Amino acid sequence: MNLPDYEAMRAALIDTDDQQVTRLVRIMDPVFRRPKFRPVVESAAREDDIIAAVRQWFPTPFSRHFSGWADQLEPELRDALAAYSKLGTEDAALIEAEHKLRLRFRAATLQIEACWKQIVHFLPFIFIAALRRIDDGALRGDAAKELARALRNYNAFYVTHSLERQKEAVQYHLRC
């Protein structure tokens, strides 16, 4: 199984001249334009195994959300894209089809983001639970430097991110 051609998809998305779509492309670029982070062909070939593992091992709320997306939304998006690609450039239905596709891609993006946020917000609980299982002496000794780095990353991501979100919420309420 081959991975989708991200550069071709990126060019098509940029050509829409839609600000939200362009913003989405900028968000996806750091992952899909860098070989280090881009999904590998082997992962795509194991898609069914990965979906089964997510359903088995991830927290239930995340697994339910992910399953709904994997089972329903992905095939719907593929069908919509296939129907859209069959329309001619002069076809009057093209504008309506494009609008429907944008709405569905927006919904897909929001669902993927919601799944990601569930994982990110669950990680601190895993981190704290893991720390509680480690002997205090080990934490002060051999693991102290690595723990300090982990705590620095934890604070940078969770604490700083939380403060930024609070500031954004305050600004939003001040504008309203």
**Interval 68-119: pLDDT, tens:** 777 887 788 777 777 777 777 666 777 777 777 777 777 777 777 777 777 7
Q: Which string of DSSP letters, residue by residue, matches 119-155?
A: HHHHHHHHHHHHHHHS-HHHHHTTTHHHHHHHHHHHI
Which residue has 């991501």 as its token pair? 157
In a domain, 174, yes or no: yes
In a domain, 109, yes or no: no
In a domain, 146, yes or no: yes
In a domain, 66, yes or no: no
**Interval 109-125: pLDDT, tens:** 777 777 777 777 777 77
Residue after which a domain boundary falls, among 14, 30, 45: 45
**Interval 8-29: pLDDT, tens:** 888 888 887 778 788 888 888 8
Q: Which domain holds residue 154?
A: 134-176
In a domain, 170, yes or no: yes
